Structure 1
């Protein structure tokens, strides 16, 4: 019986008062999870549960799938929501990877402190993931495939069916007369995972019936080895990383090639970056770390860039061009900033050590911008005025952040750069700029 297994796993990880969120695609795996979660809700009525269906818009059936998921949730007595996402489908972008990334970004919005996100991967999915990692030539981390539980945003991602075979999942659905949707793309063997599912794994299991269990054990052994390696290097890595998240180039130079490659992988893993292969690690070292001292090197990866600045390596997420973004302040009303930069507010509730300015005159409008072009400022602690570009250099602001710091403008004059300095002509104690960066992704 699947429910006792499901219930025991949830009770192992779920904390009282925290929400359980189900990623509901509508396929048989998540459909079974929905049924199991509804039973768990009946046994634990105080537990808040929510099903989230992500609408990718890739199929002509996408609207129907969303309606079906909503109806199943309604019939099960569970709350549900549909998240619509837009995919960036460029010529060099993997549809699978982009859909996965946007799906998890959408799901993360519903995860608060201590919440659980349930996904429907099972034992056969683990086998496919292992074989895909093997095809890519992955090391222990890649071959460790998917863990049963992992941190996710402010909460945890849990795969309660990971040790259950696909056959048992389908049997459960049929025994309980559950209906589900079939994504037509699942039969398209141009996708590597579908090719494995349709042709390779069935032949392997026919020849060796226990191979999926064996693969699962190998994945766990790889995970154990990776965990041990990380444990042995964790203290060394902590000493290399500064308060700004950058990793010391000088410290990396003192390590062996094997150690520094693992340390770079561990550092990137803190940003949830897809693990670079051996070729990419070589490029990081030769083209970024070992570039000329006066260079501004960068290496672009699928999720962002690795850059060097003042003898440190930094991970930089993909950024939107927000140069032309601007908006006016209304006193004591937070303003949402673009591209995961949080929110900012101009308030007359002034604190002792806040970022304080004089009050605006009647003819002055106060607004926020990100375009530093042509701006000259005179920080109150400096003897002379300088172009903002030069001031950013003197304050040690990395190049990729120089169009990410909110510029507080009084009419066309810079009053201050949030978190950096106040201009001498606008110094005062009447209002305070409060920049809350906690909403950054």
Structure 2
């Protein structure tokens, strides 16, 4: 019965994708799925399978579990990789959330174009996910919980056992005399999911035996409503998203529509969604702020800024205002924090004089010197005022590379060149300060 259900899910949801990648933890659920997967590829020779064990380093037993998974996979004729990850904790990020994010980032590396990632979540997991969403006060998107099928990395993510109870999975494991590992952390009820699993779900199942199907149905209906909302908002969102990826919020838009557009925009960028309180803060403290304000809203590792009625999603990078690097003509210089690279390139079309032999050339991200005069301007201005006039957003003013000859500012990449460094009529060579962003 369970095997036929598994086969139906694979054939119905991945008819064109013949490579299946299993997230194998070694626990009961994924161990059962490994056995189902081995039977499936034996019966369907046009499919192939691969397993990935993600080593979080959170348990002293993880090395043993990893080797056990490799052994079990080999006995089933399935190749298996071990992916070692580090869980990055931060403000408001739980161990569970950090482990989940690290796990999926590791799994994404193994998904080639058109592949299907298989994970072993089941109906009891779905109950836990819905209850956790209720605890957070989530709307339809959160209550939709886990979908059976969704896009993932270069392929798709399928949960073929999502409507199957844990009891059925246990029965299959016992019937086929399978072995699996027991993660000691699954008994730790300090974790919300474990508390629900051990204290809440058994009571719900005893009181209402049909609770799994009811929760699955409600989650599906919430997913349908969320999908309908996306479809209805798609035109508005297309009009609001600018060429640089920012979101334009006009004055005549209502708070309800505006917040819905912000949610859909953030969802497109696959970020951790802000809470309702944070979303309201984005709307009232960011979008509705005065024109001359410089507001920001931060959550997790993200930062939302506003500039000229447009919202920009940024990562919260450490300060690099003191970073500097020597620059050699015609050699690329790598910038920190995924900012790309710069090059001082000799080219006939350039207007910038090359450095003199005694001038040390460097790239920096901060300037605190005297007033300067950009090329084509009538007079000198303070640096901060110039950046405002050239419409450089405040968060980019210390993230835009600057060229220095000695201690003199020569140019700001993509913004302006200082007048006194423009080539004279007697100069035979010239250079150009180029910035290639990632």
* 1:221 corresponds to: 221
Change over 3 Å in CA distance of 1:47–1:407 after alignment to 2: farther
Q: Deviations over 1:254-306 (max 9, x none)?
A: 23333233222222212223333432233222222222322111122124122
Residue 54 of structure 1 and its aligned partner are, at CA, apart by 2.6
CA contact (8 A) 1:121 1:162 kept: yes
Residue 372 of structure 1 and its aligned partner are, at CA, apart by 2.3
Asked if 1:209 corresponds to 2:209, the answer is yes
CA contact (8 A) 1:418 1:435 kept: no
* 1:152 corresponds to: 152
More divergent stretch after superposition (190-199 vs 79-88): 79-88
* Aligned equivalents of 1:30, 1:378: Cα separation in 2: 65
* Aligned equivalents of 1:389, 1:112: Cα separation in 2: 47
Asked if 1:296 corresponds to 2:294, the answer is yes
More divergent stretch after superposition (7-16 vs 69-78): 7-16
Change over 3 Å in CA distance of 1:182–1:318 after alignment to 2: farther
CA contact (8 A) 1:89 1:95 kept: no
Unaligned residue ranges in structure 2 (runs of 5+): 424-428
* 2:392 corresponds to: 397
* 2:426 corresponds to: none
TM-score, length-scaled by structure 2:
0.81
Q: Please point out which of 353, 368, 371 is paired with 1:374.
A: 368
* Aligned equivalents of 2:124, 2:289: Cα separation in 1: 44
CA contact (8 A) 1:38 1:78 kept: no
* 2:66 corresponds to: 66
Q: Deviations over 1:229-248 (max 9, x none)?
A: 22112212222222223222
* Aligned equivalents of 2:355, 2:398: Cα separation in 1: 24
Within a 5 Å distance, the mapping from 1:161-176 to structure 2 comes to 161-176=161-176
Asked if 1:344 corresponds to 2:341, the answer is yes
CA contact (8 A) 1:356 1:432 kept: no
* 2:103 corresponds to: 103
Asked if 1:22 corresponds to 2:22, the answer is yes
Residue 360 of structure 1 and its aligned partner are, at CA, apart by 7.6
More divergent stretch after superposition (393-402 vs 410-419): 410-419
Change over 3 Å in CA distance of 1:164–1:362 after alignment to 2: farther
CA contact (8 A) 1:52 1:80 kept: yes
Change over 3 Å in CA distance of 1:64–1:362 after alignment to 2: farther
* Aligned equivalents of 1:109, 1:378: Cα separation in 2: 49
Residue 226 of structure 1 and its aligned partner are, at CA, apart by 1.6
CA contact (8 A) 2:85 2:103 kept: no
Q: Deviations over 1:364-390 (max 9, x none)?
A: 777655x22337887667677766655
Q: Please point out which of 309, 312, 316 is paired with 2:307.
A: 309
Secondary structure at the counterpart of residue 267 of structure 1: helix
* 1:79 corresponds to: 80
TM-score, length-scaled by structure 1:
0.81
* 1:122 corresponds to: 122
Asked if 1:134 corresponds to 2:134, the answer is yes
Q: CA RMSD in A?
A: 3.8
- Higher-Rg member (1/2): 2
* Aligned equivalents of 1:32, 1:356: Cα separation in 2: 68
* Aligned equivalents of 1:183, 1:335: Cα separation in 2: 47
Matched residue count: 430
CA contact (8 A) 1:358 1:430 kept: yes
* Aligned equivalents of 2:45, 2:214: Cα separation in 1: 38
CA contact (8 A) 2:83 2:106 kept: no
CA contact (8 A) 2:53 2:80 kept: no
CA contact (8 A) 1:19 1:49 kept: yes
CA contact (8 A) 2:345 2:434 kept: no
Q: Deviations over 1:22-70 (max 9, x none)?
A: 3332222222333344445556667665433333222222333333333
Q: Deviations over 1:373-408 (max 9, x none)?
A: 337887667677766655543333322233334456
Unaligned residue ranges in structure 1 (runs of 5+): none
Residue 219 of structure 1 and its aligned partner are, at CA, apart by 0.8
CA contact (8 A) 1:328 1:366 kept: yes
Asked if 1:191 corresponds to 2:191, the answer is yes
CA contact (8 A) 2:346 2:430 kept: no
* 2:267 corresponds to: 269
Q: Please point out which of 307, 320, 337 is paired with 2:318.
A: 320
Within a 5 Å distance, the mapping from 1:403-414 to structure 2 comes to 403-407=398-402
CA contact (8 A) 1:38 1:77 kept: yes
Change over 3 Å in CA distance of 1:344–1:110 after alignment to 2: farther
Q: Deviations over 1:301-349 (max 9, x none)?
A: 12412222122222222323344555667999877654344x5375989
